[in-house]
Structure 1
Amino acid sequence: MRCNVSSATLHSRLSSLVLPGGVEGGALTLLAARGLRGICDGFVAVLLPVYLLRLGFGQLTVGLISTTTLFGSALATVLIGFVGNRVALRLLLLFAAALMTGTGLAFASLSSLWPLLVVAFIGTLNPGSGDVSLFLPLEHARLAESASGDARTSLFARYSLIGALSAAVGALAAALPDRIATGLAVSSLSATRAMFVVYALTGFAIWLLYLRLPARVPQARVVRAPLGPSRGIVIRLALLFSVDAFAGGLLVNSLLALWLVQRFGLSPGAVGQFFFWAGMLSAGSQLVAAPLSRKIGLLNTMVFTHMPSSVCLIAAAFSPSLPLTLALLLARSALSQMDVPTRSAYVMSVVTPMERPAAASFTAVPRSLAAALAPVLSGTLLGLGWLGAPLVACGVLKIAYDLSLLAAFRHIEPEGGSP
């Protein structure tokens, strides 16, 4: 009995330290799961192109696998939109964690293109820095039920911060296969396969974490329903978000890693170190997002931090040296992710509580579909030797998205604050 009480007390104290005031304690489990997934996303984004090249595939295959993965994520979020108001979120989260385990085991054991494409389509692999997987609408809906107003914005900021920090740490793990291959005298391919086994084991650990979630959120008592009064706003947001996602899909982390390897000849370990520092800067920006949004509004925070990052990306495409290129890309990382928690909080704030799961899914689906179209295009451009084209196109499209978002929604006031 003493052990149980002590464990409960420790969990309560940890919740009070990590979570903002007024947030249901079960959110801590979701934040822990996000951290574990972020570590895996960090090393997979760097190792995926390396793994495919070691299997004998080319640049186009890297883009094709990324595209297939994102299309599968889009289909999964569509299905969540249909069943999210009829099936308990906890059960759906458990299914997603089990699918993550299967994805890792399959990628660790397969070598042919078509089986890999099938697993990429139905699995949870994430080739980018952001979370576009099946987990995203599920965890967003559960987090939104755990808080309201400014507390919700702070909670989403913590969620994004943990994702960014853990992905940064995970990127450093991209150096492990080469070190293992050297130390244990095994092939680099076998060592890289082992990292996908780690991915699978992490999925099982997340499954165990989700078992701790209560079947429902007692204090929220929110009935989930399809889109209704907020349909028009959500549709407009989804269309604009799809432009941003397509632009981001042109330069998901796996393709940026491939670009750095191709243009400057960096090793996986060196690329991992770059993504570590980029992730740390992104994580630091997450800390600024919530207080900045309270001063200038959610929408202004999204737009006025996003546009300078796109300018840095365009400049990096024309940079003549590695140090200047890395400096511009790091500056971009320090600014580009401040819109992530504010965007999530903004969507949850302009819809009714009953519509939140449907809104999370509805805005995620076009993002996933649009992002899925882009990587194969970037892979083709890189294969043709047009190395700067994906960076320029990404930056220009994101600037156009920011200006359109500001023009369309500057007069819409979300719940609990200014736009």
Structure 2
Amino acid sequence: MNASTRRWAARLLLPQGAHASALPLLVARALRALADGYMAVLLPAYLLAIGLSTLEVGIIATTTMLGSALATLAIGAWGHRFHSHRLLRGAALLMTATGAGFAGFSSFWPLMLVAFVGTLNPSSGDVSVFLPLEHARLAGAAAGQARTALFARYSVLGALSAALGALAAAVPDWLASHAGDSRVHALRAMFLLYGALGLVVWWLYRQLPAHAANTGAHASAPLGPSRRVVVRLAALFSVDAFAGGLVVNSLLALWLLQRFGLSLAQAGAFFFWAGLLSAASQLAAPLVARRVGLLNTMVFTHIPANVCLVLAALAPSLPLALALLLFRSALSQMDVPTRTAYVMAVVTPAERPAAASFTAVPRSLAAALSPTLSGALFAAGWIALPLIACGVLKTAYDLVLWQAFRRNRLTDE
């Protein structure tokens, strides 16, 4: 990326007051989300195509998230001993190896091993080891409202790119029908593309300075004075993540395929429009938070989205179910940038890397438990129950979160 291109991209992507060192992180997030967008749709189709059962699909989805959770835990416990740019580059190379592993194996146990150690993300949000490392660098690249705006740009780029990636889920069927290749080979090619994008992300991370730009010039430190509030937030976030894990994008795609018989192209189109709505809502989140506060934005946009999910599970027709799910997408992700900004604002600046990891770890661990449960329920014929349980649990989380933290003061940095 030459100097003129970098300046143009910085003006386009960075909010006023954010340091230019955040730019490679934003571009890397977009590329990773692009890959995650089509992987979330294609993963269940690929695993079913090579002969795995719906229960095994759920187990592999669980394994990917469990592995990410343990890696994130390691980052939280020992990551402050290493330079974050080196850890990010290592994670990018692991992304490349993950794509090659899924493309090369077709048996359940080798795939489960790659899923555990790799970076594949079957969910609608980022639950990988990249998350705390990038969040900590972003938190130091801006302050106050600029930080909320920066996290919103980060989330919006991820949502938009994931939406575009979802459209790419139609590529394997197109290749199979027009290029004369088998569907399984076409699906494997998409995993190789995932690995290639990992190499591009590795190159972007090489553009990062060795030391994070920090508006307050605070050194990293383990959790200390903010430990109590971080533990409480992490416990609540784990409930939200467990609920969300019941309907990660791969399983929601599986529900659409089984409940209404959608094709991969139709499912991809749905996730594209859902992603666009999510991106728009995340872009609006800082404006809403400026008027009503971070916590209120997190809670009071989430509850109607949860109601829509429950109603979609009970919808008698495809158009009604899709309409409810799209309306949910327009609200359900407004808490993503505001949640991250809230965590960064309630801890001391030196604790931000550790706080990012220790709030992400329970989310990943809890989310890792539920896809297997959903896979078992799907296999038993209870395909609506995971959606209903998700909506009910998320609503309970929202109410408890608001009651527990509505009087907390935020830091100014």
TM above 0.5, yes or no, is yes
What is the distance in 2 between the residues matched to 1:288 and 1:132? 22
Q: Does the 8 Å CA contact 2:141/2:213 hold for their aligned counterparts?
A: no
| 1:381 maps to amino acid | L
Q: Over residues 163-217 of structure 1, what are the superposed CA-to-partner deviations in whole Å (9 max), with x where a residue is unaligned?
A: 0000000000000001001111111000000000000000001001111111013
| 1:229 maps to amino acid | P
What is the distance in 2 between the residues matched to 1:13 and 1:390? 45
**Of 149, 153, 160, which aligns to 2:148?**
153
What is the distance in 2 between the residues matched to 1:124 and 1:387? 27
Deviation at 1:102, TM superposition (A): 0.2
- The DSSP-based 3-state class of the residue aligned with 2:316 is coil
Q: Does the 8 Å CA contact 1:46/1:254 hold for their aligned counterparts?
A: yes
| 2:315 maps to amino acid | S
**Of 374, 378, 384, which aligns to 1:382?**
378
Match of 1:234 in 2: 230
What is the distance in 1 between the residues matched to 2:119 and 2:294? 30
Match of 2:75 in 1: 80
**Of 30, 49, 57, which aligns to 1:62?**
57
- The answer as to 2:265 corresponding to 1:269 is yes
- The answer as to 2:108 corresponding to 1:113 is yes
Unaligned runs of 5+ in 2: none
Deviation at 1:414, TM superposition (A): 1.3
Match of 1:305 in 2: 301
Q: Does the 8 Å CA contact 1:150/1:416 hold for their aligned counterparts?
A: no
What is the distance in 2 between the residues matched to 1:392 and 1:121? 28
What is the distance in 2 between the residues matched to 1:351 and 1:218? 18
Match of 2:94 in 1: 99
Runs of 4+ in 1 over 6 A off after TM superposition: none
Unaligned runs of 5+ in 1: none
- The DSSP-based 3-state class of the residue aligned with 1:227 is coil
81-90 or 395-404: which moved more? Answer: 81-90
**Of 347, 351, 357, which aligns to 1:351?**
347
- The DSSP-based 3-state class of the residue aligned with 1:271 is helix
Could you say if the C-alpha distance between residues 148 and 182 of structure 1 is closer, same or farther in structure 2, counting changes exceeding 3 Å?
same
Q: Over residues 229-248 of structure 1, what are the superposed CA-to-partner deviations in whole Å (9 max), with x where a residue is unaligned?
A: 00000000000000000000
What TM-score results when the alignment is normalised by the length of structure 1?
Answer: 0.97
Deviation at 1:218, TM superposition (A): 4.5
Aligned identity (percent) is 63
Q: Over residues 322-342 of structure 1, what are the superposed CA-to-partner deviations in whole Å (9 max), with x where a residue is unaligned?
A: 000000000000000000000
Q: Does the 8 Å CA contact 2:140/2:213 hold for their aligned counterparts?
A: no
Match of 1:123 in 2: 118
**Of 278, 281, 286, which aligns to 2:277?**
281
| 1:328 maps to amino acid | L
Could you say if the C-alpha distance between residues 219 and 392 of structure 1 is closer, same or farther in structure 2, counting changes exceeding 3 Å?
closer
Give RMSD over aligned pairs: 1.1
- The answer as to 2:138 corresponding to 1:132 is no
Match of 1:175 in 2: 170
- The answer as to 2:363 corresponding to 1:330 is no
Q: Does the 8 Å CA contact 2:21/2:213 hold for their aligned counterparts?
A: no
| 2:183 maps to amino acid | S
- The answer as to 2:315 corresponding to 1:319 is yes
What is the distance in 1 between the residues matched to 2:73 and 2:330? 32
| 1:389 maps to amino acid | L
Q: Over residues 325-368 of structure 1, what are the superposed CA-to-partner deviations in whole Å (9 max), with x where a residue is unaligned?
A: 00000000000000000000000000001000000000011001
**Of 14, 23, 27, which aligns to 1:28?**
23
**Of 358, 361, 364, which aligns to 1:365?**
361
Q: Does the 8 Å CA contact 2:76/2:358 hold for their aligned counterparts?
A: yes
What is the distance in 2 between the residues matched to 1:10 and 1:35? 17
Deviation at 1:219, TM superposition (A): 4.9
- The answer as to 2:183 corresponding to 1:188 is yes
Match of 2:244 in 1: 248
- The answer as to 2:72 corresponding to 1:89 is no
- The DSSP-based 3-state class of the residue aligned with 1:385 is coil
What is the distance in 2 between the residues matched to 1:187 and 1:372? 32
Q: Does the 8 Å CA contact 1:250/1:377 hold for their aligned counterparts?
A: yes
Could you say if the C-alpha distance between residues 219 and 126 of structure 1 is closer, same or farther in structure 2, counting changes exceeding 3 Å?
closer
Could you say if the C-alpha distance between residues 218 and 336 of structure 1 is closer, same or farther in structure 2, counting changes exceeding 3 Å?
closer
- The answer as to 2:173 corresponding to 1:208 is no
What TM-score results when the alignment is normalised by the length of structure 2?
Answer: 0.98
What is the distance in 1 between the residues matched to 2:34 and 2:127? 15
| 1:314 maps to amino acid | V
What is the distance in 1 between the residues matched to 2:77 and 2:190? 34
Deviation at 1:376, TM superposition (A): 0.2
Q: Over residues 87-132 of structure 1, what are the superposed CA-to-partner deviations in whole Å (9 max), with x where a residue is unaligned?
A: 0010000000000000000000100100000000000000011000
- The answer as to 2:132 corresponding to 1:144 is no
Deviation at 1:9, TM superposition (A): 3.5
- The DSSP-based 3-state class of the residue aligned with 2:110 is helix
164-173 or 77-86: which moved more? Answer: 77-86
| 2:306 maps to amino acid | S
Q: Over residues 375-400 of structure 1, what are the superposed CA-to-partner deviations in whole Å (9 max), with x where a residue is unaligned?
A: 00000001111111001000000000
| Count of residue correspondences | 412
Q: Over residues 121-153 of structure 1, what are the superposed CA-to-partner deviations in whole Å (9 max), with x where a residue is unaligned?
A: 000000011000010000000100101110000
What is the distance in 1 between the residues matched to 2:212 and 2:359? 23
What is the distance in 1 between the residues matched to 2:124 and 2:304? 19
